[in-house]
């Protein structure tokens, strides 16, 4: 009988769908999701990276390599004296701790929501500057081995805006970020909402049988 009982349990599960049809349907990602990095540009198209190498210095996985260079006087790349001449991220090493995002003084490196990529060789896992810099519309560039959907392009710097500086609540509602190519000045971080637990039935005040307020 136990043999047939097993089939009965299986038959009862027919029609109960608990999964989604991936990759056609994907769950929405949290606002502070840590995806692959992007290098941002100002609204006028200039790059935000100044080649200071702070991101490479703070990286615990040593996956970032940066080499700065002096800006050419006739065609400057960034508003500062220097710019990121070489910028590489090795995603075989990256642990997505985002310390590089916190360390960047110019908001140059931030995050997209993209995390689905599959490499056929090790060299593809090393993203170069030409692949990391956002396109002329401000969106991350899509590479052949990356699986995209519409939300992958959105909020490319939302994680940075949501946590900096140091997660202080005093900065909520304050616009403190420079404009980004394709997005302009993004809205400030909204106030945090503290979820209060609902009282248990045993903790609820007892009703007065006479209809009074209990006093």
154 versus 4: the higher-pLDDT residue is 4
Please, which residues bridge with residue 47 across strands? 41
Q: pLDDT tens, 166-203?
A: 556 676 777 767 888 988 887 776 666 655 666 666 55
pLDDT confidence band for 61 (50 / 70 / 90) = very high
Of 127, 124, 155, 128, residue with least CA distance to 139: 155
| Rama region for 141: left / alpha / beta (φ>0; ψ in -120 to 50; rest) | beta
Burial class (CB in 10 A: 0-12, 13-18, 19+), 182: middle
**1 in any annotated domain:** no
pLDDT of residue 199: 63
pLDDT > 70? residue 30: yes
CATH number at 171 reads 3.30.70.3270
**12 in any annotated domain:** no
Average pLDDT over all residues of the chain: 80
Domain region containing 69: 34-188
Of 180, 182, 181, 161, residue with least CA distance to 172: 161
**177 in any annotated domain:** yes
Indicate the number of domains in the chain: 1
pLDDT of residue 120: 86
**100 in any annotated domain:** yes
**4 in any annotated domain:** no
**155 in any annotated domain:** yes
How far is it, in rounded angstroms, from Cα 35 to Cα 31?
11
Question: The whole model's pTM is what?
Answer: 0.74
Per-residue pLDDT, averaged over 54-69, amounts to 95
**116 in any annotated domain:** yes
Q: pLDDT tens, 108-156?
A: 998 888 888 888 889 999 999 999 999 998 888 888 888 877 666 666 6
pLDDT of residue 128: 95
């Amino acid at each position: 009988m136990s043999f047939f009982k097993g089939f009965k349990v299986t038959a009862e599960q027919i029609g109960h769908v608990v999964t989604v049809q991936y990759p056609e349907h994907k769950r929405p990602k949290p606002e502070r999701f840590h995806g692959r990095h992007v290098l941002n540009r100002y609204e006028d198209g200039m790059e935000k990276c100044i080649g200071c190498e702070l991101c490479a210095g703070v990286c615990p996985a040593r996956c970032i390599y940066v080499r700065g260079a002096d800006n050419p006087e006739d065609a400057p790349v960034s508003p500062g004296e220097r710019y990121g001449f070489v910028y590489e991220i090795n995603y075989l090493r990256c642990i997505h701790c985002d310390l590089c995002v916190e360390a960047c003084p110019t908001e140059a490196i931030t995050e997209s929501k993209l995390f689905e990529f599959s490499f056929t060789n090790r060299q593809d896992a090393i993203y170069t500057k030409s692949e990391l810099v956002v396109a002329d519309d401000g969106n991350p560039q899509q590479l052949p081995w990356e699986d995209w959907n519409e939300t992958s392009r959105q909020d490319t710097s939302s994680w940075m805006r949501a946590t900096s500086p140091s997660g202080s609540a005093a900065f909520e509602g304050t616009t403190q970020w420079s404009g980004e190519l394709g997005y302009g000045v993004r809205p400030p971080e909204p106030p945090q909402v503290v979820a209060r637990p609902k009282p248990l039935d045993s903790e609820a005040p007892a009703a007065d049988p006479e209809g009074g307020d209990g006093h």
